[in-house]
Chain A
Amino acid sequence: MNKRLLGALGTVIIGAGVIAGIGTYVASAKNDSRVLAATPAGTINTPQGNLPHYTLDMSAYPDSMAGSHGTSGGPHPDWVTYGPVTNFQVPAHSVITVTIKQYDSGDRITNDFFASVHGTIDGTATFNGQTAKSVDSTKVGHTFTLHGLSDAQSQLFVSVPLPSLPDADVPDSGYSKTPNTITFSFITGDAGKYVWNCEYPCGDGTIARFGGPMSAQGYMSGNFDVVNA
């Protein structure tokens, strides 16, 4: 075979191999593949009629020693994280009741918009048993903010602030015995792929504290798939 042709063919094969290798590495490293599916809880009466009811339980931790990163905390043990996983799956056209235990401290949120509850049934959430439409914007630990592409799928924007614990209640090791408990419900639309993230700047010192765990999947953000039941 012509040497030039052989050389060109070899270059193409090696190039394709390198690109495939990089793609495989990025795909395997980009995210935790585990998904938590919502638990069925019968039906519930809503302004939209009687709908299937599902629940999701999760927690927000001040480090990565809990959740999906293992007890060693993974590559960034000091990063804040949600757990037990950061990818969720819920049915379409259903009521989803989310309960979050919040173990972290906090401060003033940069944007008061996210100190209010948006997109839930009645526009409210329950904070340690008290129903409210917003929390003190100077005492926010994290938020759970769910949103998606605006094109070709149902709009789903849900944002709930998670009040912070006092600094004294966050131990240096382990977690508080009295986390804040936040509960809220919302109704899903058509099936689609959404994402969720935290809107409190709880990342490292880069990008206005939106770096680190705020800029990486598997910590303060993840996928939220709405699927046909």
Chain B
Amino acid sequence: MSDLETQKRPSVFERKDVKQTVFFWVVFTAIIGYAAAELQARSMGASASETMSTTIHMMRVFTWVAAPVAGLVAAMAMTTLISKIHFGDTPPEEADHEIRNATKLTATWLIVSSVLCLFAVVWGTVVLQKDNAALLNPQAMNVNVTGQQWAWNFDYVDNGTVRSQDLYLPVNKPVVFHITSKDVIHGFWIVQMGIKVDANPGYTTDTSVTPNKIGIYDLRCAELCGLYHAFMQTKVHVVSQGDYDAWIKAQGGQA
């Protein structure tokens, strides 16, 4: 038996390229996790409801949980670029694949991926369920939402026959939206409150939210609906209960 055959092979983790990959994995996970989580949170804007706050928190956690996966892919790509790249006309010898038919590794990868997916599904379902709690709240106010190319209008059905083109809501009061469309499918999206529901012609879809911060927010159509889809925007005015009652009276309604 030759010396080469009797020489003990180093373990996978003693190999230089594996050590390099692990190093890049840690670094890339930190960079991707932080950058993606922060970018995502900033792009989602300020929160004007608990629904939005919960959604932003959930997205941060999901991003950090997914970061190691993206980090590993980036690390392997970087290691390959650094140590496996080949120049010249002579092709490299076939790589000596150390990791092949690795049952334990495959099982670990599948289990971890499945756990990550289940984690996302369960948490997302819990958050969605919480969002809709106001649907069963008898104290919630009701607003009928009608989308039409390319405008929104709102009927405050608890306050008489008041209609508006901007949306007015009292702060800290649950509101149930009954959403429909007069023509094509639109998307009812109050950006800073984290609710987005399709407005379908011929159907009424309910959703709810409790705005928790006074201010002016954005309402946009989130479903490509034709020529002026980009202009199908309006404002949401979250005001105190007193200001809301005054506004309703000024519109001829009953506070």
Contacts and interface: CB of A to CB of B under 8 A. Distances in A.
The answer on A and B forming one complex is: yes
Interface of A: 110-111, 113-114, 116, 118, 145, 147-151, 155, 157, 159, 194-195, 197, 199, 201, 207-208, 210, 214-217, 221
Contact of B184 (A118, A150, A159, A210): A210
A195 B231 contact: yes
Is the interface on chain B under 10, 10 to 19, 20 to 34, or 35 or more residues?
20 to 34
B249 interface: no
8 contacts: A110-B182, A150-B234, A151-B233, A157-B234, A208-B182, A208-B183, A210-B184, A221-B228
B150 A197 contact: yes
Given A150-B218, A194-B231, 17 more contacts: A110-B148, A113-B163, A116-B163, A147-B151, A147-B231, A150-B235, A151-B218, A155-B235, A157-B151, A157-B234, A159-B151, A197-B149, A201-B183, A208-B182, A208-B184, A210-B149, A210-B226
A201 B148 CA distance: 10
Contacts of B163: 113, 116
B165 interface: yes
A215 B148 contact: no
Nearest to B218: A150
Contacts, number: 68
A151 B192 CA distance: 14
Contacts of A221: 227-228
Interface string B135-179: 000000000001011110100000000010110000000000000
A216 B227 contact: yes
A217 B227 contact: yes
What are the 5 A-B residue pairs with the smallest beta carbon separation, nearest first? A150-B233, A113-B153, A208-B183, A110-B182, A111-B182
B117 interface: no
Nearest to B165: A157
Interface of B: 146, 148-151, 153, 163, 165-166, 182-184, 201, 218-220, 226-228, 230-231, 233-235
Contacts of B148: 110-111, 113-114, 199
Contacts of B166: 155
Contact of B233 (A114, A149, A217): A149
B183 A110 contact: yes
A221 B184 CA distance: 17
Nearest to B226: A215
A148 B149 CA distance: 13
A149 B230 contact: yes
Given A148-B231, A150-B235, A210 B146 contact: no
A149 B226 CA distance: 15
A49 to B, nearest CB: 22
Nearest to A208: B183
Nearest to B227: A215
B231 A199 contact: no
A149 B230 CA distance: 7
A207 B165 contact: no
A81 to B, nearest CB: 15
Given A113-B163, A151-B218, A208-B184, A214 B231 contact: no
B183 A149 contact: no
B184 to A, nearest CB: 6
Contacts of A217: 227
Contacts of A151: 218, 233
Contacts of B234: 150, 157
B160 to A, nearest CB: 15
Contacts of B151: 145, 147, 157, 159, 199
